[in-house]
């Protein structure tokens, strides 16, 4: 890594790989130097589209490329463990898309590999790097709404998604929970930490993935979080944080907000807005900048997206899946998904 630029490799060439790469190429201190796909022609097409010098038709060549500082892993969830593991084992630093893995066992294996090889590893939970979310978290920690009572958040897409779509495919870790529910769960845990108990109900598809899921998380201190996700109904994607002395409302798109409203009991509502200098609300540049800051500082994990927090979210997702009866191919039905 040079002081001036961090050299990125992109692993996979789908929707989010393209969106993230489009933001990366706009950052003056980032350089996208390589891309890997399962096929040479798709790697070449992606490389041509974004002006990337090296294109590989397999993952291993990228994992072994010593002129890559960090690999962005952007395949379906079911591939994260294998792809990120290959990169870490070959000495690459890794930013891995959400959900981090299929289950906490896989997540723990990646964390262990990053420690064994002394490499940086972070879940691409861009919400945690969003400046508006960071401000909200700081206000809550300062007691702006008093003691936390409830968190509510939802993320549902109308679809419809055909059975061939990755969101409906058990082999790709399909379903609403892992793809969308990870945001409301991560939001609740950003503010409250890991819950002490989890209950959940879901509607499953014929293929056995969750079409919609509602979960209630609870904490020993008395706080509750109600989270909902769906791939069969477009929701408002709002979030509410209620405390003993007020509440915070985040309008639609709570996972990449450009504003929120703080209602302190007995006071006029205060609106907090994103700084226009931070760029568009759907930008992935904040998480990319956080990765590059950490790499330059010699850190192996980000304080904004700590690995313990990622593991705690994966435990909650496992617990919810245990309650709703969703298991993915290859998961051991007795050893995996034991209640949190």
Ligand X SMILES: NC(=O)c1ccc[n+]([C@@H]2O[C@H](COP(=O)([O-])OP(=O)(O)OC[C@H]3O[C@@H](n4cnc5c(N)ncnc54)[C@H](OP(=O)(O)O)[C@@H]3O)[C@@H](O)[C@H]2O)c1
Name, in order, each residue with C-beta under 8 angstroms of 222's C-beta and a sequence gap of 6 or more: 149
79 lies in the binding site for ligand X (CB under 6 A): yes
Question: Which of 5, 42, 150, 226 touches ligand X (CB under 6 A)?
Answer: 42
179 lies in the binding site for ligand X (CB under 6 A): yes
Quick one: 339 exposed, middle or buried, by C-beta within 10 A (0-12, 13-18, 19+)?
Answer: exposed
- For residue 315, the minimal CB distance to ligand X (Å) is 18
CB of 84 within 8 A of CB of 94?
yes
Q: How far apart are alpha carbons 214 and 212 in whole angstroms?
A: 7
- For residue 329, the minimal CB distance to ligand X (Å) is 12
Name, in order, each residue with C-beta under 8 angstroms of 330's C-beta and a sequence gap of 6 or more: none
Q: Which of 137, 109, 146, 114 is nearest to 265 (CA)?
A: 146
76 lies in the binding site for ligand X (CB under 6 A): yes
16 lies in the binding site for ligand X (CB under 6 A): yes
Nearest to ligand X of 51, 266 (CB atom) = 51
Nearest to ligand X of 13, 130 (CB atom) = 13
Distance in Å from the first CA to the final CA of the chain: 40
Q: Give me the residue label for tokens 């330059």.
A: 296
Tokens (6 digits) for 79: 């591939």
280 lies in the binding site for ligand X (CB under 6 A): no
Q: Which of 246, 278, 21 is nearest to 144 (CA)?
A: 246
186 lies in the binding site for ligand X (CB under 6 A): no
Neighbours of 236 (CB within 10 A): 12
Total number of residues binding ligand X (CB under 6 A)?
A: 21
310 lies in the binding site for ligand X (CB under 6 A): no
Question: Which of 15, 143, 163, 234 touches ligand X (CB under 6 A)?
Answer: 15
Q: Which of 191, 160, 182 is nearest to 228 (CA)?
A: 182
Tokens (6 digits) for 294: 């950490």
Question: Which of 75, 85, 175, 246 touches ligand X (CB under 6 A)?
Answer: 75
- For residue 14, the minimal CB distance to ligand X (Å) is 2
- Interface map 110-139 toward ligand X (x if CB under 6 A): --------------x-x-------------
Question: Which of 6, 12, 129, 337 touches ligand X (CB under 6 A)?
Answer: 12
How big is the CA angle at 99 (ends 95 and 102), to the nearest 5 degrees? 115
Residues from 149 through 178 that contact ligand X (CB under 6 A) = 166, 172
Nearest to ligand X of 127, 340 (CB atom) = 127
37 lies in the binding site for ligand X (CB under 6 A): yes
Helix-helix angle 104-116:307-324, to 10 degrees: 160
98 lies in the binding site for ligand X (CB under 6 A): yes
Q: Give me the residue label for tokens 């893995």.
A: 101
- For residue 286, the minimal CB distance to ligand X (Å) is 12
14 lies in the binding site for ligand X (CB under 6 A): yes
How distant, in Å, are the alpha carbons of 118, 159, 337 from that of 230?
A: 38, 9, 21
Considering only 6-14, 228-236, 292-300, 318-326, which stretch makes contact with ligand X by CB under 6 A?
Answer: 6-14
Binding region for ligand X (CB under 6 A) = 12-17, 37-38, 42, 74-77, 79, 97-98, 124, 126, 166, 172, 179
């Amino acid at each position: 890594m040079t002081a001036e630029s961090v050299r990125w490799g992109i692993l996979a060439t789908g929707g989010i790989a393209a969106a993230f790469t489009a933001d990366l190429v706009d950052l003056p201190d980032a350089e996208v130097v390589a891309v890997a796909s399962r096929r040479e022609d798709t790697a070449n097409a992606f490389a041509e589209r974004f002006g990337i010098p090296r294109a590989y038709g397999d993952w291993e060549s990228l994992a072994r490329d010593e002129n890559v500082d960090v690999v962005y892993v952007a395949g379906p969830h079911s591939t994260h463990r294998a792809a990120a593991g290959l990169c870490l084992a070959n000495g690459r630093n890794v930013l891995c898309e959400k959900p981090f893995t299929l289950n906490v066992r896989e997540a723990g294996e990646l964390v262990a590999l990053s420690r064994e090889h002394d490499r940086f590893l972070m879940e691409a939970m861009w919400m945690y790097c969003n400046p508006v979310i960071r401000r909200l978290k700081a206000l809550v920690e300062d007691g702006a709404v008093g003691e936390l009572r409830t968190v509510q958040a939802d993320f549902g897409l109308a679809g419809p998604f055909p059975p061939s779509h990755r969101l409906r495919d058990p082999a790709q870790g399909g379903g609403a929970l892992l793809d969308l529910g990870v945001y409301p769960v991560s939001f609740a845990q950003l503010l409250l930490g890991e819950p002490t108990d989890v209950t959940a109900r879901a509607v499953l598809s014929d293929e056995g993935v969750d079409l919609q899921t509602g979960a209630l998380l609870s904490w020993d201190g008395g706080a509750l979080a109600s989270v909902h996700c769906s791939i069969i109904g477009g929701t408002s994607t709002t979030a509410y944080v209620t405390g003993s002395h007020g509440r915070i409302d985040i309008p639609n798109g709570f996972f990449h907000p450009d504003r929120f409203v703080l209602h302190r009991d007995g006071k006029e509502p205060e609106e907090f807005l994103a700084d226009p200098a931070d760029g568009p609300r759907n930008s992935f540049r904040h998480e990319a900048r956080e990765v590059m800051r950490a790499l330059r500082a010699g850190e192996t994990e980000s304080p904004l997206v700590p690995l313990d927090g990622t593991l705690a979210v994966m435990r909650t997702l496992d617990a919810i899946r245990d309650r709703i009866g969703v298991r993915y191919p290859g998961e051991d039905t007795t050893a995996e998904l034991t209640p949190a």
